[in-house]
Amino acid sequence: MSAISVEGVSKRFRVYHERNQTLKAAVMRRRRASYEDFWALRDVDLEIPHGSSFALVGDNGSGKSTLLKCLAQILYPDDGRIETRGRVAALLEVGSGFHPELSGRDNVYLNASILGMKRPEIARKFDEIVDFAGVEQFIDQPVKNYSSGMYVRLGFAVAINVDPEILLVDEVLAVGDAAFQEKCAQKFATFKREGRTVVVVSHSMPSLRTMVDHAAWLQKGVLREVGPAQGVLERYSDSTHESSGATIGGLVHIGSGEVRIQRAEVLPLTATDEPLTVGGGLRLRLHWSAAGRVERPVVGIAVEALDGTYLAATNTRDAGDPVDVLEGEGVLECTLPDVRLHPGTYSVIASVTDESTTELLDQVRDIARFSVDSGGRSWSGGYLALPASWDQVAESTSAVDG
């Protein structure tokens, strides 16, 4: 029996050109406001299994939040049916029912009853909630005196202690400091162990990958794919990579400018059109122009993750292919035969320095991007691919090893 059944759900929003927001406008124009229908969800069918951790993924505007709100009964579908089995709590925005002038204690009771808890139940869990939020000292203070962190933590603590059989979460995992996030992660783990159902909307692929076991991918309101998390999340994140070899306009150059790297191209290692996968190769072509004659420069590239993590670099000197002179214009090709990066999109930095690599002649960040595809294989996060093999060995072998 699934925890949530979604059958043929469609949700339409009216996009008003000129909405009759005042009575005057409505009377004067004597007709209904003109509008266009926008289908946020179109004929979505889903079964969310009981006890699963389910992710809804998709680009902005794909309808995933709309679907979550429909599950939470905040929005009602125009068509189709949603059936939920069990008590539902939604964490769409924490602390939204707080009254700033009332004390933390009053607000816990108020918020918990908005979420559907009964008084004895709240009283029983009160200490746990306050403890979870870590606001014991301030519980009788008006919440408007709380720091924003305390406010959010208290709201989160209430919601998560509602004890729902089905928990709906919208990107709120990123609240509080590291210690609080740890607590939340533990709470979710407990949820899973206890066989409760969690439905989460998030953009953070790494955290989803560790959390969920099922996923649905929505695209422009239509269900693209649904199934075990591994496959769906990979195909979704592959689809979001930018196409290989694109150069980025509006480059920012730093350095003296004696040489300029005008653009970079990313090419496959061979002429085939296979997308780059883990351990595959690529070629980077740097198109340069020199103002005068530059002798013995060092040309290099570096690779960064999109979050700015510096991953690796190489240059003409380290690679043992020094450049004698740059004059006029030309193209320098760097071959990377074995790219041991995990699937994802990476950014290239190109630079030119003098012979001693102390004076920067030119540097361009994000001059090109390339993507590594999963190639249908599963991978467990991080940037670097760590080729490995695993074997069962007899215990004695390892004990006397060496």
Partner 1 sequence: MSILSELRDSRELVANLTRREVKGKYKRTVLGQLWSLANPLAAMLVYTLVFSFIIKIEPDVGDPSGLDIFAVWLLCALLPWSFFTNVVTGGMASLVGNENLIKKVYFPRSALVVANGFSAFFTWSTEMAVLLVVLLVVGSAVLPWLPLVVVVMAVLYVFALGISLLLSIANVYFRDTQHFVAILFQIWFYATPIVYPGTLVSERSDRMGPLFGSVTLEDLYRLNPMERFAEVFRNLLYDNRMPELVDLLVIIAWAVGALVVGALVFTRHSKRLAEAL
Site residues for partner 1 per CB under 8 A = 13, 21-24, 26, 69, 72-76, 88, 90, 92-93, 96-97, 99, 101-102, 106, 109-110, 113-119, 142
CB of 49 to partner 1, least distance (A): 22
Q: Give whichever of 13 and 383 is closer to partner 1, judged by the CB atom.
A: 13
Return d(Cα 283, Cα 268) in angstroms, integer. 6
Q: Give whichever of 129 and 284 is closer to partner 1, judged by the CB atom.
A: 129
Cβ(304)–Cβ(339) under 8 Å?
no
Q: Give whichever of 89 and 303 is closer to partner 1, judged by the CB atom.
A: 89
Residue 157: how many CB atoms within 10 A of its CB?
27
Could you tell me the two tokens for 355? 């012979």
Return the bridge partners of 266, or none: 284
Return d(Cα 74, Cα 59) in angstroms, integer. 21
First and final C-alpha spacing in the chain: 54
Q: Give whichever of 123 and 331 is closer to partner 1, judged by the CB atom.
A: 123
Residue 175 CA: distances (Å) to CA of 88, 135, 149, 189? 21, 15, 8, 17
Return d(Cα 394, Cα 373) in angstroms, integer. 37
Q: Give whichever of 108 and 339 is closer to partner 1, judged by the CB atom.
A: 108
Q: Give whichever of 12 and 365 is closer to partner 1, judged by the CB atom.
A: 12
Cβ(232)–Cβ(57) under 8 Å?
yes
CB of 207 to partner 1, least distance (A): 22
CB of 265 to partner 1, least distance (A): 47
CB of 74 to partner 1, least distance (A): 5
Length of the chain: 402
CB of 117 to partner 1, least distance (A): 8
CB of 361 to partner 1, least distance (A): 54
**Selection from 344, 374, 379 nearest residue 240 by Cα:** 344
